[in-house]
Structure 1
Amino acid sequence: MLEGIVRESMDKRSTKALRKDGYLIANIYAKGVENINAAFKVNDFIKAVKGKSDLKFPVSVAGKTYDVVVVDYQKHPVTSALKHVDLKVVLDDVESKYMVPVKPFGTPVGLKNKGILLQSKKRLTVKCTGKNLPNSFDVDVSGLDVDHTLLVRDIKVPEGVKIVEAGRVAVVGVIKAK
């Protein structure tokens, strides 16, 4: 489990000092939960995110444990080092919006016909409770030929989950190579 500390001061000097000591600045929030300004060791955070099997993962701050999902992060423009991360607490009975990844599998028929697989949506916004949150949308692309597309309305959605995007939005398609 990822262990973090609570940030006592929010000023620029203390933030720089934490970053110099190898910490990643984080905000943890949710509906009905007081915002938590935290900091995690950068390397520990990267290991926890890369090693997770579910969309949500546990973090511990000030003796309390939260199941969270990564909402957004900022990187340094030159070095690409992580600078800041926003984490949303997953509450089992509260409906909220989440970004769920789309994972295509299979080899499209169109690749043999000089086509290229194009994934236009890597994540879809869904509205659901925390207990119904899917880990990902697995999409079978083996039946796609050149100029065929899978739309949002073609994705199988678990019960209790609603996709926010319009049904006519393309998710994965095979286009003709030039």
Structure 2
Amino acid sequence: MQNIELKGALRSDLGKKGAKDIRRSELTPCNLYGNGGNVNFTVVEKDLKDILYTPNAYIIDLNIDGKSEKAVIREVQFHPVTDEVLHIDFYRVTEDKPVVIEVPVKLNGSSDGVKQGGKLQLSSRKLKVSALIKDLPDTLDIDITTLGLGKTIMVGELEFPNVTILNPKSTVVCAVKMTRAARGAAAAAALAAQQAGKKKK
């Protein structure tokens, strides 16, 4: 999995007023927790753009006043009206323990069902997985070549080396929906086959 660096500075004022003052300075209050204790710090608001507003998933190399920590984002709080980032919780990770993180789904191939006029629908853009850092993929690649009309792919059908998917097995990842045009084509094909059968008799 890709890594991205984020610089931070330790924060001592933990009150609500302090948090407001921090945001006025175009900084975002953050918390790092997990094994090793809690660390309160701030990051420059604009530095979050490449981490939050992307479909990619990252292991984040935090540099807090010169001290390096590896982490993943656990929770982001947004303002309900302005969408301003109010607070971020980071969770400390290590090389020797499984990491829980959401990984983007990537569909590969041209579906048989789409070729027949169906519409491909991606229902789960990301899936929550658990794996060691060294085994975490950048994307969960799924081959949809044989996915037919009206068919779905569910979590229970997926397997990735050394990766455990934590979503329920019944979760639909993608499907090829039957469109009006596809229904018409299927009906015409069935009728043609029926007529061909009658002629043979």
Q: Which amino acid aligns with 1:141?
A: I
* 85-94 or 11-20, which deviates more: 85-94
* TM-score w.r.t. length of structure 1: 0.84
Could you tell me which runs of 5 or more consecutive residues in structure 1 were left unpaired when the two chains were aligned: none
> Is residue 176 of structure 2 the alignment partner of residue 151 of structure 1?
no
* TM-score w.r.t. length of structure 2: 0.76
Tell me the SS of whatever aligns to 1:33.
Answer: coil
Considering fraction of residues, name the structure with more helix.
Answer: 2
Contact 1:7 1:37 in 2 (8 A): yes
Percentage of pairs with the same residue: 27
Cα–Cα, structure 1 residues 47 and 98, in superposed 2: closer, same or farther, change >3 Å?
closer
Contact 1:55 1:136 in 2 (8 A): no
Counterpart Cα distance in 2 of 1:52 and 1:149: 23
Q: Say what the alpha-carbon RMSD is for the aligned residues.
A: 2.4
Partner of 1:127: 130
Contact 1:137 1:155 in 2 (8 A): no
Contact 1:101 1:137 in 2 (8 A): yes
Larger radius of gyration: 2
Number of equivalences: 176
Considering fraction of residues, name the structure with more strand.
Answer: 1
Partner of 1:18: 22
> Is residue 28 of structure 2 the alignment partner of residue 28 of structure 1?
no
**What are the superposed Cα offsets for residues 72-99 of structure 1, whole Å, 9 maximum, x if unpaired?**
2122222222222222222111234322
Contact 1:26 1:86 in 2 (8 A): yes
Partner of 1:164: 166
> Is residue 82 of structure 2 the alignment partner of residue 85 of structure 1?
no
Could you tell me which runs of 5 or more consecutive residues in structure 2 were left unpaired when the two chains were aligned: 181-201
